[in-house]
Structure 1
Amino acid sequence: MAKWTPTHEAPEPLEGPVVATITGGTILWFVLFLVQLPFYGWFDDHGHTWWVWTCLAGAGLGLIGIWYVRGRDAAIKRGAAENQPQESQPQEK
């Protein structure tokens, strides 16, 4: 088991435009669902209706993902604001 133990530290997680990425992916899944909807009969005839429903499920899960990453982003910003030193207020005499 020792040969599977990593010998170096894990890299820092990449931070980027997470909310925009998840929103774009959700829109893409929903557009794919709408594009396939007129061809539902063909998908049904060939046993591929799961393609249509997979796109709808991706869009639905994407909505949950948007809610999650927006909350995560807000929590990160709140935490960063709390960790910043407060500017000293001049005392009135």
Structure 2
Amino acid sequence: MEFRDDQPMQHEFRNKTYVLADVEPLDVDGVRTVEVGTGLFFLAFVGLLPFYGRLQEDGHTWVLWMCLAGMGLGLFGLEYCRRRRRARHERDADVG
């Protein structure tokens, strides 16, 4: 990723001046973010399994199924982000 030279390095808003750091974003394609989120949903699901009886007694089994749904949606999102990253790499390879 290249920075454009015409980007302002500071913004003035009302009586304050905000200085922008000259750094690249960490996770441009989102793959790592989705991996971590999906992993956390998986760990929560596995961590709640031993307490299924207690969750059922209290009427909170939806929490367990929410973790499972989050993990499933995360897997779809992970595939989407990987395809998007692959397409961006192919596009950049064709241009350069």
Equivalent residues in 2 for 1:1-93, closer than 5 Å? 16=28, 18-84=30-96
- Per the normalisation by structure 1, the TM-score is 0.72
CA RMSD of aligned residues (A): 1.3
- 1:17 CA drift (Å): 5.2
- The answer for unaligned runs of 5 or more in structure 1 is 1-13, 85-93
Q: CA offsets per residue over residues 63-82 of structure 1, 9 Å max, x none?
A: 11111100000001111111
- 1:16 CA drift (Å): 2.3
- Per the normalisation by structure 2, the TM-score is 0.69
User: Match for 2:68: what amino acid?
Assistant: L
Which structure has greater helix proportion? 1
Give the number of aligned pairs: 71
| Higher-Rg member (1/2) | 1
Once residues 52 and 19 of structure 1 are traced to their aligned partners in structure 2, the CA distance between those partners, rounded to angstroms, is: 25
Once residues 69 and 44 of structure 1 are traced to their aligned partners in structure 2, the CA distance between those partners, rounded to angstroms, is: 35
Which structure has greater strand proportion? 2
- The answer for unaligned runs of 5 or more in structure 2 is 1-24
Once residues 35 and 59 of structure 2 are traced to their aligned partners in structure 1, the CA distance between those partners, rounded to angstroms, is: 30
- 1:22 CA drift (Å): 0.5
**Higher alpha-carbon deviation: 14-23 or 29-38:** 14-23
